[in-house]
Amino acid sequence: MEVVAALLLLSVALGVATPPMLRVLDDVATYSAREEVAGLIADARVRAIAQGGAVVTIDSFRAASHSGAGESRSVHLHSDFGVRVNTGARGAVRLAYDALGLGRVASATLVFERGRSQRTLVVSAYGRVRR
């Protein structure tokens, strides 16, 4: 009888604790994905200054950067974080940086989504990132 009571209490505790734990996991995944893309953009700006230009391409499931010297780096948002990026009606977003590290028509608002969690990353026309 004591074992049954202990199992009942354990199952009730797990039932109450599971939804908040899942929300925390979604929050961590969207935060991590947003920061990874922000780092990718910052790295592309630095490489643009060093190598004469760089381009960052972001679609719903992947972000990739390519520099003038042919170096590339990518992040698979869906498989690594389970996150989808909502880029609005634009589809894929292309952020281009010149040799001064400034964006050329680089403005975009990216919304990282997983479950009920959403994080926003705004890239200004000059290519600066705001969280």
pLDDT in tens, 93-131: 899 999 888 887 668 899 999 999 999 999 988 888 888
Over 70: is that where the pLDDT of 38 sits? yes
* DSSP state string for 7-44: HHHHHHHHHHHHHHHHHHHHHHHHHHHHHHHHHHHHHH
pTM above 0.75, yes or no: yes
**Token pair belonging to 81:** 């974080």
Query: What does residue 126 show for φ and ψ, rounded to 5 degrees?
Result: -85, -5
State the pLDDT at residue 106: 65
Nearest to 23 by CA among 131, 120, 114: 114
**Cα separations (Å) of 10 from 25, 35, 108?**
21, 36, 47
Q: Given 3.40.50.300, 3.90.110.10, 3.55.40.10, 3.40.50.12280, which CATH number is that of 2-130?
A: 3.55.40.10
State the pLDDT at residue 2: 87
State the pLDDT at residue 39: 94
Kindly state the helix (H) or strand (E) to which residue 89 belongs, with its residue range: none
